[in-house]
Amino acid sequence: MILDSVERVRQFLEHSQIDAIVKVLPPESTKTSALAAHSLGCTVAEIAKTIGFVDHSSEQLNPVLVVLSGARRVSPIRLGAHLNIPEAKLHKMSAEEVKTYTGYSIGGVPPFPHYPNVHVSVDKSLFSFSDVWAAAGSNNTVMKIKPEVLTKHLKIPVVEVSE
């Protein structure tokens, strides 16, 4: 299954002609953002993590992903304000929900590709860096990518929801 998720990302990169460097790291070197940063020779802030929430504001549950700097965390208050829903209606995804809504396991959720019903936003915190390292389909596969690719090429909206 891991190979399938990584292959899904690789095929998307190739098909979309996105310039990214994909690396497979030893599993023990990616258990935390700090370990991954050390293995990659970057700071934790340069790790682009993808955090999932479920919007419970309507009968249909809506998955929401935010890609942000590894040194920041998502503010549910800011995210709720951005989405125009009450903070109390946003719940962080469980491991099972991450897998169900994205098709990826925790630690391996990339900024893309995602199912059409998944709302993805990129936090402004990533734009302090020319390149960031994001998960690429598994918990030990990463890709080096320019944050601008997410917004200009893939049209993912920029938000300011971190603290």
CA atoms within 13 A on the CB side of 97: 15
Largest CA distance in the chain: 45
Q: Is the pTM of this model over 0.85?
A: yes
> What three-state secondary structure class fits 77?
helix
CB neighbours (10 Å) of residue 57?
16
For range 134-153, the mean pLDDT: 93
Q: pLDDT tens for residues 49-93?
A: 999 999 988 888 899 999 999 999 999 999 999 999 998 999 999
Residue 112's Cβ-side half-sphere holds a number of Cα atoms within 13 Å equal to 21
- Given a contact cutoff of 8 angstroms between Cβ atoms, the answer to whether 126 and 48 are in contact is yes
Query: Rounded distance, CA 99 to CA 29, Å?
Result: 22
CATH architecture label of 2-159: Alpha-Beta Complex (3.90)
The Cα–Cα gap between 43 and 37 comes to: 5
Which residue type, as a one-letter code, is found at position 142?
Answer: V
DSSP states of 29-66 as a string?
Answer: GGSSHHHHHHHHTS-GGGEEEEEEEEE-SSSS-EEEEE
- Number of CB atoms found within 10 A of residue 11's CB: 11
Q: What proportions of the chain, in percent to the nearest 5, are helix, strand and coil?
A: 35, 30, 35
pLDDT tens-digit series, residues 15-47: 999 999 999 999 889 888 899 999 999 999 999
pLDDT score recorded for residue 8: 94
Domain ranges of the chain: 2-159
